[in-house]
Amino acid sequence: MIQFNLLPDVKKEYIKAKRQKRIIFTVSTFAIGISLGILLILFSIVQVAQKKNINDLTKDIKSEIASLNSIEDLDKILTIQNQLNSLGSLHEAKPESSRLLSYLTQVTPSDVKISNVKINFEENTIEIEGSAPSLASINRYADTLKFTGFTSQEPDSDNPEAQPVEPLSIDELNDENLAFIDVITDSSRNEERSSYTIKASFNPTLFDNTKVIVLSIPNTITTRSTLGKPNISDQTDNTLFEDNGGEE
């Protein structure tokens, strides 16, 4: 059987184009449907799920705030906590004032008495008042302060009391390792004894509680450390601090 396609070429092109149009329309409709579905899902998430999550979080925050506000003296507790957190830095910045007595014992000649000591850790100054048997002893005391050096080191974790082995010699003294500078002496003499007032500035490292300090005392100065222990039976001759009648 023989069949003849009598449709003109224009008609065939029209049918082909129409078929492509239906395919494109179907695909486009399907894509639009998917896009609308995604849009609806996103809209529901934003308008429903997200709002619900925000509301839940807001309720939780309000509940926690109410719980904190119910704690009695909350402000005081927070203030104390902040103060406790700052104790470490405050302790490191605090001068080790307990070293003062040890330093004075080392630098003060045996025949010189101290009646009053004023120290200012903010300005790093010290004022010492007392008496001595002669002006020469006072001058020797002032010279001792002028030529006293120090060495410092970080504490050893295994041995916190570890100290440098060798103290400084006078030749090694400089502006950085001098214990006292700007030493000024004011002295007077009466029939019985000489009195003095010595003012000086000290190196703040001397009282740094994060370091171990060793003073280097001039060997030509006779100090209590070289004389040994004082004679307990004679408090008048061997007492570093003299009795000033209870005055401060």
Q: pLDDT tens, 215-228? A: 888 765 444 443 34
pLDDT at 198 over 60: yes
Give the list of residues 6+ apart from residue 162 with CB closer than 8 angstroms, or none.
Answer: 153, 155, 156, 212
Q: pLDDT tens, 109-154? A: 989 999 999 999 889 999 999 999 999 999 999 999 998 888 888 7
**Quick check: helix, strand or coil at residue 215?**
strand
CB atoms within 10 A of CB 75: 8
- CATH superfamily, domain 95-238, is General secretion pathway protein M, EpsM (3.30.1360.100)
pLDDT at 244: 59
Among the listed residues 92, 88, 116, 94, the one whose alpha carbon sits nearest the alpha carbon of residue 104: 116
pLDDT at 175: 77
pLDDT band at 16 (very low <50, low <70, confident <90, very high): confident
Q: pLDDT tens, 142-187? A: 999 998 888 888 766 555 555 544 667 777 778 788 889 999 999 9
Model-level pTM? 0.53
Task: Give the position of tokens 């705030």.
Answer: 65
SS (H, E, C) 82-150: HHHHCHHHHHHHCECCCHHHHHHHHHCECCCEEEEEEEECCCCEEEEEEEECCHHHHHHHHHHHHCCEE
Taking the domains of the chain in order of start, what are their residue ranges? 9-64, 95-238
Q: What is the DSSP letter of 131?
A: E
As given in the structure block, the two tokens for residue 149 are 């050096």
